[in-house]
């Protein structure tokens, strides 16, 4: 399978804490091992290893097996990232979120048993099509908003919303994935740096640029609202709104909050939707419940009262 090429300036800034990888009792499955699965084609490659299509031999259940190499995790000092991905992902159950079934490990690898998303990455589909029409974009954005509303209710923020982290199910429905940067927002405030440069909100860009050295800048779950606005813009235009030739210029542009003009025609509802989310002050961004009530969403998806409504379950 051809591997996904991320655009050059889509580099992630990461902060990680060293530690050792140990199992958590949660969702650990003591009876599974690699031999329990028939391994099929490679679905893709991530930072720590490959993902394969797999079939559980006893039940014939089809799934995706994400194989992480412990040595690779350790060499990057990313044990906490992986531990967090498992802890958070295993707590989530929503039709718009890729299911995390279980995990196990051997001497050299950690295996995550995940729902198989046959539609692949939304990023690939966007690359192929160039951009989506407003209706298709609104349907995707509404589904992501619905999944985020579920996560935020559980006090978890995703922090890494972007088309690369949105997979597609059998019917083309979204399956939010990649919870390495997600975090419980019990205090509602976290100050670690994360995310991909095009999608980072100004409150994080400011930290990256150390505009206020010595002063710790906090952020909360409203980071996901900004990223949702970036997603809506990119799906409709094919380009993220603050994309610039260099990372530094992109960060500066994000801090202005002024989106690029494109030749792409957009309805006034779509513009108003993006404007309501790409707001510099995190507290003034359109809250998720109002996102689903926004005229742009309502005109394309109808009124969505619950996750049942949008996913038709």
From the CB of 275, what's the least distance to ligand ATP, in Å? 30
From the CB of 264, what's the least distance to ligand ATP, in Å? 26
Residue 202 near residue 179 (C-beta atoms within 8 A): no
Q: Which two tokens stand for residue 90?
A: 């295993």
* Active site annotation includes 160: yes
From the CB of 47, what's the least distance to ligand ATP, in Å? 3
First-to-last alpha carbon distance for the chain, in angstroms, is 32
Tokens 């591997």 appear where? 3
Q: Is 66 in the site for ligand ATP (CB under 6 A)?
A: yes
Q: Which is nearer to ligand ATP, 79 or 134 (CB)?
A: 79
**Interatomic CA distance for residues 252 and 238, integer angstroms:** 21
Q: Is 120 in the site for ligand ATP (CB under 6 A)?
A: yes
Which helix or strand (DSSP H or E) is residue 101 part of?
strand 100-105
Q: Which is nearer to ligand ATP, 64 or 278 (CB)?
A: 64
* Near ligand ATP by CB under 6 A: residue from 86, 117, 228, 288: 117
Q: Among the candidate windows 13-21, 29-37, 47-55, 244-252, which touches ligand ATP by CB under 6 A?
A: 47-55
* Residues 262, 4, 310, 195, CA torsion sign: negative
From the CB of 267, what's the least distance to ligand ATP, in Å? 31
**Interatomic CA distance for residues 89 and 68, integer angstroms:** 15
Per-residue binding letters, 80-109, with ligand ATP (x by CB under 6 A) = ------------------x-----------
Which of 27, 160, 198, 224 is an active site residue?
160
**Interatomic CA distance for residues 273 and 266, integer angstroms:** 11
**Interatomic CA distance for residues 241 and 232, integer angstroms:** 10
Q: Is 46 in the site for ligand ATP (CB under 6 A)?
A: yes
DSSP state string for 15-53:
----------STTB-TT--GGGEEEEEEEEE-SS-EEEE
Site for ligand ATP in 165-204 (CB under 6 A): 167, 178, 180
284 is an annotated ligand-binding site residue: no
**CA nearest neighbour of 204 among 238, 235, 230:** 230
Q: Among the candidate windows 14-22, 42-50, 195-203, 280-288, which touches ligand ATP by CB under 6 A?
A: 42-50
Q: Which two tokens stand for residue 252?
A: 């500066």
> Which positions lie near ligand ATP, rule CB under 6 A?
4, 43-48, 51, 64, 66, 98, 114-117, 120-121, 167, 178, 180
Residues at the binding site for ATP are 47, 66, 115-117, 164-165, 178
Instruction: Just list the catalytic residues.
Output: 160
């Amino acid at each position: 399978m051809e591997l996904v090429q991320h655009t050059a300036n889509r580099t992630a800034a990461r902060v990680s804490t060293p530690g050792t990888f140990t199992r958590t009792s949660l969702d650990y499955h003591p009876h599974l091992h690699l031999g329990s699965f028939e391994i099929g084609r490679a679905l893709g490659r991530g930072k720590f290893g490959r993902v394969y299509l797999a079939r559980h031999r006893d039940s014939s259940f089809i799934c995706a097996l994400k194989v992480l190499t412990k040595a690779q995790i350790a060499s990057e000092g990313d044990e906490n990232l992986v531990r967090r991905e498992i802890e958070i992902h295993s707590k989530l159950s929503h039709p718009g979120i890729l299911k995390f079934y279980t995990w196990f490990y051997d001497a050299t690898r950690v295996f995550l048993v995940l729902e198989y998303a046959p539609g692949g990455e939304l990023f690939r589909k966007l690359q192929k099509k160039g951009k989506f029409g407003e209706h298709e974009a609104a349907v995707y954005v509404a589904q992501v908003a619905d999944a985020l509303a579920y996560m935020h209710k559980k006090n978890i923020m995703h922090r890494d919303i972007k088309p690369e982290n949105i997979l597609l199910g059998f019917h083309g429905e979204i399956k939010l994935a990649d919870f390495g940067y997600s975090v419980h927002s019990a205090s509602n405030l976290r100050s670690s740096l994360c995310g991909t440069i095009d999608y980072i909100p100004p409150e994080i860009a400011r930290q990256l640029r150390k505009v206020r050295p010595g002063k710790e800048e906090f952020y909360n779950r409203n980071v996901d609202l900004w990223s949702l606005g970036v997603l809506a813009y990119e799906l409709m235009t094919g380009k993220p709104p603050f994309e610039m030739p260099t990372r530094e210029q992109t960060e500066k542009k994000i801090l202005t909050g002024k989106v690029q003009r494109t030749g792409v025609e957009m309805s006034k509802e779509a513009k108003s939707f993006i404007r309501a989310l790409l707001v510099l002050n995190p507290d003034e961004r359109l809250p998720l419940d109002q996102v689903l009530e926004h005229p742009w969403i309502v005109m394309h998806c109808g009124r969505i009262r619950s996750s049942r409504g949008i996913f038709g379950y």
